[in-house]
Amino acid sequence: MNVFGLIGYPLTHSFSKKYFTGKFLQEGITDTVYELFPLPEIELLPKLIASQPNLRGLNVTIPHKQIVLPYLTRIDPAAEKIGAVNVIKIAADGTTTGYNSDYFGFKETLTDWFIRIHGTNGRATLEQTKALILGTGGASKAVKTALDDLQIESLFVSRTPASGQLAYDSLDEKVLQEYRLLINTTPLGTSPAIETFPPIPYQFLTPANYLYDLVYNPEETTFMKKGKERNAQVLNGLPMLYSQAEKSWEIWNS
């Protein structure tokens, strides 16, 4: 029996287990299971792999996406550039290779979104759109790399900005007119804390703005609702979640 799974802590709810269990049933895959492996400390990863001889791959979630890197045998160049891993492929001899499917999922769904909105002009419109990345955690690094590869100019926004980053309280009407794509990579708005949202000046949003929320639960976050009130275009993280999950399966079976 081939085993795949998810590491992170805590694992209070898991899209991945539900998604892959459903996928296996739908596609008649009977020799494979997907399990949850709550891992409070990343130092426990080698012990987990050694104790599961049929373990062939793992997804990685908070808080291990960045700190897992030193525990891997190899790291895919794209994931190394990002500095975060959310997919681990495990060979029969126990060697491990880290990948980042968030990168692929975000890049694919962002492009598809603009094509749905603008049709044949979608890619050209996207290339001409500057972006603000709200948050500086592990997911933000994948977003930044994808934007760089799409040749989209972007800036990080943080409560404690480093050099070259913006503070939330520095955002004004001029900035939101110049940087029309806003991507929430923070957990703000995630259930059950659905009343939380990134502290941006929503009153300055217009129909020319695009709000992409990586949060997928709830399907419509307060960030998105506030954008819709200003007639901005909005998208939640569910399409990216499906896309990165399928990329994980492709990596494990390649």
25-78 pLDDT, tens per residue?
Answer: 999 999 999 999 999 999 999 999 999 999 999 999 989 999 999 999 999 988
CATH topology identical between 2-99 and 103-240:
yes
**Does the annotation mark 65 as catalytic?**
yes
What is the rounded CA–CA span in Å between residue 223 and residue 237? 12
Domain assignments of the chain as residue spans, ordered by start: 2-99, 103-240
Just give the CATH number of 103-240. Answer: 3.40.50.720
Question: Is the confidence at residue 91, as pLDDT, over 80?
Answer: yes
Which CATH number fits the domain 2-99, given the four candidates 3.40.50.10310, 1.10.150.120, 2.40.50.140, 3.40.50.10860?
Answer: 3.40.50.10860
Q: What is the pLDDT of residues 203-243, one digit of tens each?
A: 999 999 999 999 999 999 999 999 999 999 999 999 999 99
Catalytic residue among 65, 89, 144, 226: 65
What is the rounded CA–CA span in Å between residue 58 and residue 87? 6
Burial (CB < 10 A; 0-12, 13-18, 19+), residue 92, is exposed
Q: What is the pLDDT of residues 140-174, one digit of tens each?
A: 989 999 999 999 999 999 999 999 999 999 999 99
Give pTM, 2 decimals.
0.85
